[in-house]
Amino acid sequence: MVFDAIVAGAGIWGCTVARTLADGGKRVLVLEKRAAVGGNVRCETDPETGIEVHLYGSHIFHTGIDEVWGFMRRFTEFNGYQHKVLARYGGKTYFLPLGLALVNQFYGIDLKPEELPAFIAKEAGKTCAEPSNFEEQAISFIGRPLYEAFIREYTRKQWGTDPRNLSADVIRRLPVRASYDVNYFPDWRQGIPLDGYNAVFDRMLDHPGIEVRCSAEFRLDDPEFAPSAERPVFYSGPVDELFGYRFGHLPWRSLRFERERAAVKDFQGTSVVNYTGAEVDFTRIHEFKHYHPENRGAMEAPSTIICREYPKAWKPGDEPYYPVDNQASRELLAKYRAEAAKVPGLVVGGRLGEYKYYDMDKSVARALETAKAAC
């Protein structure tokens, strides 16, 4: 097949680009350096219990974007799972995000919805006019007691530094809900694919105009796959890696996952529990069976699969997860973007390419926009 476009990287951004180009009549070659498509949304089914295990941390699809929802439902039906996150602090379990359920339990009071904003404002007290770091910004939003209980140590673990070293921008949108709504995401359209994430990616790439090659890494200096105005390359790997780290490594935070089979039917009663204190090194525990309550066989299995998530400093060879947004990284990113702009036919996108953490729906939206512009 003679190809009209190459997509390098078969995560959710790359698969969406490839399918949209193919639907527009393009012949597309997809190159994926891993042995299977799906990127960090890739899962595996535990043969003993039938539990779908998320290999790279939990992924819950949710969106408020009509076009994205319509696109994804071409390839799957969702099970209607509504994500709820619990937090362990001081030997007690609380519902996140910050709202009436958490505040009333934490303070031992019984606020009504109209009373919560004034109470939070009182707890926040007088703060500087313009908070200069993460900690000051958080305290100005919710007050010191809630900050110290649910945010300070969790953030220290997540980012590997004192929150006072982080920019105030990191927490500008901390939500406080004046209600008992304990759904973690505000989007009513959410869930897990009924037949699993892997099937979604397989269907997205199942098109006569798409050829997929796994265990095939893209290199900019490979003449066989060189981008051009006539045959563009849509690249979603790390942008600094693409150019051989010539200006240095972009900083990331990474994760380590520690999975185990627990010999109990139900380990924690929900999908995700955050551990906000400093007494443990991990930030949360995932229990994957709860993502598919419709899978009665997995739900009733006498054992379960759990996963502890440990943030860690990134080094070359590790999986990059969270970009470290600071002045130095912005300046470095600008250099790599300038290099990419010099290459005719090269389009860099996705979480790694853009050096930006996207929820899945935002990644799909960006991919749709990018691919449509090329059709």
Give per-residue pLDDT as tens, 170-187. Answer: 776 677 899 999 999 999
pLDDT band at 1 (very low <50, low <70, confident <90, very high): confident
240 in active site = no
Give per-residue pLDDT as tens, 37-60. Answer: 999 999 999 999 999 999 999 999
Catalytic choice (19, 42, 88, 177): 177
Query: What is the CA 183 to chain-centroid distance, rounded?
Result: 17
pLDDT at 52 (0 to 100): 98
221 in active site = no
Percent of the chain predicted with pLDDT > 90: 91
pTM, two decimal places? 0.95
42 in active site = no
Check whether 124 has a pLDDT greater than 90.
no
- Among 29-43, 45-59, 133-147, 346-360, the range scoring the smallest mean pLDDT is 133-147
Give the pLDDT mean for 230-238.
97
**How big, in percent rounded to 5, are the helix, strand and coil portions of the chain?**
35, 20, 45
Give the pLDDT mean for 66-74.
98
Q: Which CATH architecture has domain 5-43+54-79+190-251+323-374?
A: 3-Layer(aba) Sandwich (3.40)
Identify the sign of the CA torsion 318, 42, 355, 348: positive
Residue 13's contacts (CB-CB under 8 Å, 6 or more residues apart) are: 236, 349, 350, 351, 353, 358, 363, 364, 366, 367
The secondary structure of residue 193, as a DSSP letter, is: B
Check whether 130 has a pLDDT greater than 90.
no
pLDDT band at 127 (very low <50, low <70, confident <90, very high): low
pLDDT band at 300 (very low <50, low <70, confident <90, very high): very high
Going from N- to C-terminal start, the domains of the chain cover 5-43+54-79+190-251+323-374, 98-177, 253-313
For all residues of the chain together, what is the average pLDDT?
A: 95
- The residue ranking higher by pLDDT, 129 or 85, is 85
Check whether 36 has a pLDDT greater than 80.
yes
Catalytic choice (136, 287, 309, 361): 309
Give the pLDDT mean for 76-94.
96
Catalytic choice (110, 173, 224, 230): 173
DSSP string, 99-162: EHHHHHHHHT----GGGHHHHHHHHH-S--SS--SHHHHHHHHH-HHHHHHHTHHHHHHHHTS-
309 in active site = yes
Give per-residue pLDDT as tens, 250-294. Answer: 999 999 999 999 999 999 999 999 999 999 999 999 999 999 999
Give per-residue pLDDT as tens, 198-212. Answer: 999 999 999 999 999
Give Dmax over CA atoms of the chain in angstroms.
68
In Å, what is the CA distance from 291 to each residue of 59, 72, 167?
10, 18, 34
Question: Smallest Cα–Cα separation from 57: which of 326, 279, 253, 195?
Answer: 253
Residue 211's contacts (CB-CB under 8 Å, 6 or more residues apart) are: 1, 3, 28, 29, 30
177 in active site = yes
Catalytic choice (107, 180, 245, 357): 357
Distance separating alpha carbons of residues 312 and 252, to the nearest angstrom = 9
Angle (CA) 173-179-182 rounded to 5° is 75
Angle (CA) 158-160-165 rounded to 5° is 105
pLDDT at 53 (0 to 100): 98
Catalytic choice (189, 284, 351, 366): 284
Give the pLDDT mean for 325-331.
93
Question: Smallest Cα–Cα separation from 285: which of 299, 274, 293?
Answer: 274
pLDDT at 173 (0 to 100): 60
173 in active site = yes
Give per-residue pLDDT as tens, 353-368. Answer: 999 999 999 999 999 9
Catalytic choice (189, 253, 351, 366): 253
Contact 218, 6 (CB under 8 A): yes
pLDDT at 345 (0 to 100): 97
pLDDT at 131 (0 to 100): 83
Check whether 158 has a pLDDT greater than 60.
yes
Query: What is the CA 269 to chain-centroid distance, rounded?
Result: 23
pLDDT at 129 (0 to 100): 64
Distance separating alpha carbons of residues 65 and 371, to the nearest angstrom = 17
Check whether 308 has a pLDDT greater than 80.
yes
Check whether 126 has a pLDDT greater than 80.
no
27 in active site = no
Strand partners, 53: 44
pLDDT band at 169 (very low <50, low <70, confident <90, very high): confident
Which residue bears the tokens 């990287």?
9
Check whether 128 has a pLDDT greater than 70.
no
Structure tokens at 15: 């698969």
Strand partners, 14: none
Assign 94 to helix, strand or coil. Answer: strand
Angle between helical axes of 360-374 and 12-23 (0-180°, round to 10): 30
